[in-house]
Amino acid sequence: MKLTKPQTRVIYLATMVLGLSACSSPLKYAPRDHGATTSSAQAKPSQAQDCQGSYRVRSGDTLSEIAVKCDISMSRLAKYNQLLPPYIIYVNQELLIPSVQALQTSPELVDDNEDPANDITGQSRVQPEPLQPKNQAPIKQAKQLSPPKEDSAKAIERQDTPQERVKMEKSGKWVWPMHKGLDYRYIRDRAGLSVLEIYGLPGQDVKAVTSGKVVYAGNGIANFGWMLVIKHTDEYMSIYAHNSALLVREGDIVKSGQVVATMGATGNTKRPKLYLEARYQGRKVDIKKILKP
């Protein structure tokens, strides 16, 4: 049957109306499984849950990365857990994460790296012995290593692999890290724990107090200049700061008495010196009880 022109126009208009009504109708979807719903806002809680009260350190973590992840300043996180530069942490170590209330009410903490002149137990000075010509070795011009890109050391495995395990001296005694004719003094912090400072000339040899593995080598820690941290097999660590150059790298195995750096005046110091600190399980201990001339 042939349609007239008016009939054709009516059919066309009806088709347009139906099409527009279909476009304006709300879209319907099959109901989704509520448990499978994810979003960027819901993805963060799993990360935030890691920081609920405490955080367990994973391989490759640094304290600065953990601080960012847990939305807290690294200095606050370090002080809350009694960690000192270069903020050595261990895999599976549990770090306490302060709550907002704790941050608001916690008293101001004092930096242990204060001016030694204000807090000294007593100083033991020895007049330098006159050096014979045979002992006056020329100062070595050591090549400095490139500084690290981070400001805190990566998490350390508590147990070394058999290939990396090093043998401590049978006596366990630490050896003096520099020539014994140099001036030195033990300096106590407010907690009553002493560190050792030895004074000399730039370029003089700095030796490892005992065998171990270098776990930090760089100048990324404020105030300490070029610094080394050596981990020993009995969970002790020795820290050497203000060096002019480092002669070993992270991961190197060193022997007792091995030259590992040269004395300098880098970082926050007005004179060439070696700053030597002892730690046990990451915490500062009194070096005067471990190392004596």
Q: What is the pLDDT of residue 231?
A: 93
The conformation of residue 113, written as its DSSP 8-state character, comes to: S
Q: What is the pLDDT of residue 147?
A: 45
Which domains does the chain possess? 43-105 (3.10.350.10), 116-125+172-289 (2.70.70.10)
Tally of CB atoms within 10 A around 140: 14
What mean pLDDT, rounded, does the chain reach? 74
Q: What is the pLDDT of residue 2?
A: 61
- Residue 246 banded pLDDT, cuts 50, 70, 90: very high
Is residue 44 pLDDT above 60, yes or no?
A: no
For 249-262, what is the mean pLDDT?
Answer: 96
Q: Which residues does 177 contact at the CB level (< 8 Å), separation at least 6?
A: 198, 206, 207, 208, 209, 240, 274, 276
For 245-253, what is the mean pLDDT?
Answer: 95
For 147-157, what is the mean pLDDT?
Answer: 56
Q: What percent of the chain has pLDDT over 70?
A: 58
Distance of CA 226 to the CA centre of its chain: 14
The conformation of residue 159, written as its DSSP 8-state character, comes to: S
Q: What is the pLDDT of residue 83?
A: 82
Tell me: the pLDDT tens digits for 89-123? 888 888 999 875 555 444 443 344 444 433 333 33
Q: Are 274 and 263 in contact (CB under 8 A)?
A: yes
Q: 275: left (phi > 0), else alpha (psi -120 to 50), else beta?
A: beta
Tell me: the pLDDT tens digits for 56-95? 999 888 888 999 999 999 889 888 887 877 788 888 888 9
Q: What is the pLDDT of residue 103?
A: 52
